[in-house]
Amino acid sequence: MTVNKELIEKIRRKIVSEKGDLINRIYYEEGAGLLIEVSRGNLREIAYYVHEILDTYLRTVAGVDERPIKGVFSAYYVFGLDGYGLNIIVVTHMPPEDPKLPSITDIVPSADWYELEMYDLLGIRFSNRKLYRFVLPEDWPEGVYPLRKDTPYNIRPKPVKSQKQVLSGPRIPVGPYHPALHEPEYFELYVEGERVVDVEYNGFHVHRGIEKLGESRFTYQQVPFLAERICGICGFVHSVCYTQAVESAAKIEVPERALFIRSILLEVERLHSHLLWIGVACHLLGYDAGFMHAWRIREKTMILAELLTGSRKTYGINLVGGVKKDINNDKINATMKTIEWVENEFKKLVEVITSIPQIVKRAKGTGILPRSDARKLSVVGPVARASGLKRDVRKDYPYAAYKYVSFKVPVYSEGDNLARLLVRVDEVFESINIIRQLLDQLPQGPIMSEEIEIPENAIGVSSVEAPRGEDIHFVITGKDNKLYRWRVRAPTYQNIPALKVMLKDAPLADAPLTIASIDPCFSCTDRIQVVDLSTGKRRTISFKELQRYNICPRCGL
């Protein structure tokens, strides 16, 4: 990705002239962004300035144990300058004997989860906020921090007695695991009657320590296969995002043909993901015929993925420096025929879905996320675009072969469930258009870089527009052919906190579709605990009971 050097210098001068007395160092590092090093005492003021005055959004935060190389703990706050393709990274360091920072959640609300994660996994404490177990289980012992360099990846600490209060009264353990669903999650909906007044989320039930594994056991060229298993739908997204981060840090030139192949497969992945979600949305709205048709169309995209890579999922063709598998003329012709069929069939399905009044009425005006809240919470993907934010890293931070194609970024202003549905519908057609352009322009040449040298202590930041929104990988290169730090931020991590706004004061019947509308990285809500604030009673309801809540008594949908 090429960033305008004049723009960088202009922004750098502006920052120095207005906040230079609070900054220790400011410099541009290609492959990462504009780095601003500050003391922790000035973190809040600089964070406010970057977020509010420069009008950026928080993209990710990487806590790093840099004691072995710098003698400090560090935190890298990566902000994005909308529309300019520039990362502004605020860096602060902490002495090893006092790893503590001031909280910025009152200034940048989207920093909440990041601070909790750094506290849990690195032992970095934050003042002026409540800290609690977020990723680690309640019985994890104090003083054992998985992402510290002196903690081995295969440690198995003995559990301690949990201090968490157990709810009294009869409870039915229908989750967070459920045999009929694919991923566990846990929501608490606080209700007054049939109206939702608050929501709490408890996740990370299957946290696999992938970052630690990538830093400890895997070489640079092995990590792509690990990254592809982060998500069952967007695996190739993570693989590309990781390889781009390392390539950016090491200044590796990837052959153009490989970049085109990456973009083609990313759009095929977007097609099958959006078609899956549209089918699920139809199911949640009681229109199971729509669910079946969406998945019937999606099946063609899965067959296409297998044709191009040899696998329906976890393609396994991506490496630092390029790809392992080429696309010949027969595959190009087959791809063209497949996407033409998908386009025609999808048009028919969309005409039916959007002509059913009950579906439109159930989605319109529900789960609203205003533009101001969307910006404040730094949401991404269709959730952001449905709330009026034209935020798409394919345009804002062009990567792979996206600079060679023309496409529209669908944006709606309503911020409701219908808008999020329509964004995805529009994007299906845009993806088909992108694939056609990429195949028409597919250049000749090699698919793998011949020279791959990765220096130590280089920073790389990469982003890929996954179907759910932007995916970001942050890396610091290390020695012995391994990463020093690998930070992964998936789009769901950024979007789930917005449910507090989307569900507040909403009817309980709208909760399943609203939760699903962010396309979270779990299949469905398998367990909901409903808390009636008028009586104080709590009860656990099953997935089937929740579905019954979602049926409209007037129209049966």
Q: Dihedral angle at the C-alpha atoms of 503, 504, 510, 514, nearest 10 degrees?
A: -20
Are 198 and 109 found together in one domain? no
- pLDDT exceeds cutoff 50 at 84: yes
Are 238 and 320 found together in one domain? yes
What is the rounded average pLDDT of the residues 96-123? 96
Are 325 and 444 found together in one domain? yes
Express the helix, strand and coil content of the chain in percent, nearest 5 each: 40, 20, 40
In angstroms and rounded to an integer, the radius of gyration of the C-alpha atoms of the chain is 23
Are 247 and 378 found together in one domain? yes
Contacts of 260 by beta carbon, 8 Å cutoff, 6+ apart: 400, 401, 404, 438, 441, 442, 443
Confidence of residue 185 (pLDDT cuts 50, 70, 90): low
Domain assignment present for residue 73? The answer is: yes
At residue 525, the pLDDT reads 29
At residue 163, the pLDDT reads 58
At residue 38, the pLDDT reads 98
What is the rounded average pLDDT of the residues 38-65? 97
- pLDDT exceeds cutoff 50 at 179: no
Last residue of one domain, picked from the residues 478, 494, 510: 494
Confidence of residue 471 (pLDDT cuts 50, 70, 90): very high
Quick one: tokens of 360? 């439109």
The one-letter amino acid code at 140 reads: W
CA distance 432 to 344: 11
- pLDDT exceeds cutoff 60 at 254: yes
- C-alpha 103 chain-centroid distance: 23
Q: What is the CATH number of the domain that holds 52?
A: 3.30.460.80
At residue 1, the pLDDT reads 54
Domain assignment present for residue 153? The answer is: no
CA distance 470 to 382: 10
High-pLDDT (> 90) share of the chain, %: 71
How far CA 496 is from CA of 109, 110, 343, 419, 515, in Å, comes to: 13, 10, 31, 17, 8
Are 456 and 520 found together in one domain? no
Domain assignment present for residue 250? The answer is: yes
Domain assignment present for residue 169? The answer is: no
Q: Which residue has the higher pLDDT, 266 or 518?
A: 266
Q: Are 140 and 133 in contact (CB under 8 A)?
A: yes
Ranking 49-58, 80-89, 180-189, 327-336 by mean pLDDT, the lowest is 180-189
Last residue of one domain, picked from the residues 494, 523, 540: 494
Residue that is written with structure tokens 């101001």 in the block = 372
Task: Say if residue 176 is preceded by a cis peptide, omega within 30 of 0.
Answer: yes
Q: Which residue has the higher pLDDT, 222 or 521?
A: 222
Last residue of one domain, picked from the residues 127, 144, 176: 127
Are 414 and 476 found together in one domain? yes
Q: What is the CATH number of the domain that holds 251?
A: 1.10.645.10
Residue that is written with structure tokens 């709208």 in the block = 510
Contacts of 157 by beta carbon, 8 Å cutoff, 6+ apart: 140, 141, 144
At residue 123, the pLDDT reads 97
Domain assignment present for residue 94? The answer is: yes
Contacts of 208 by beta carbon, 8 Å cutoff, 6+ apart: none
Helices (runs of H) and strands (runs of E) counted in the chain: 19, 16
At residue 2, the pLDDT reads 59
Confidence of residue 174 (pLDDT cuts 50, 70, 90): very low
Are 505 and 410 found together in one domain? no
Q: Which residue has the higher pLDDT, 49 or 173?
A: 49
Quick one: tokens of 142? 């104090």
Domain assignment present for residue 161? The answer is: no
Are 194 and 291 found together in one domain? no
- Number of domain units in the chain: 3
At residue 526, the pLDDT reads 32
Name the strand (E) or helix (H) holding 516: helix 511-517
Q: Which residue has the higher pLDDT, 244 or 183?
A: 244
CA distance 135 to 143: 15
Are 195 and 109 found together in one domain? no
At residue 166, the pLDDT reads 45
How many CB atoms neighbour CB 56 within 10 A?
23
Are 284 and 410 found together in one domain? yes
Domain assignment present for residue 412? The answer is: yes
Q: Which residue has the higher pLDDT, 197 or 107?
A: 107
At residue 387, the pLDDT reads 97
Confidence of residue 119 (pLDDT cuts 50, 70, 90): very high
Contacts of 521 by beta carbon, 8 Å cutoff, 6+ apart: 183, 231, 233, 468, 490, 492
At residue 232, the pLDDT reads 81
CA distance 17 to 4: 20
Are 28 and 61 found together in one domain? yes
Are 276 and 422 found together in one domain? yes
Q: Kindly give the pairing relationship between strand 538-541 and strand 528-532.
A: antiparallel
At residue 177, the pLDDT reads 47
Q: In a 10 Å sphere around its CB, with 0-12 CB exposed, 13-18 middle and 19+ buried, how is residue 220 labelled?
A: buried
CA distance 543 to 525: 7
Mean pLDDT of the chain: 88
How many CB atoms neighbour CB 153 within 10 A?
13
Domain assignment present for residue 145? The answer is: no
CA distance 369 to 373: 7
- pLDDT exceeds cutoff 70 at 181: no
Q: Are 203 and 187 in contact (CB under 8 A)?
A: no
Domain range for residue 18?
5-127
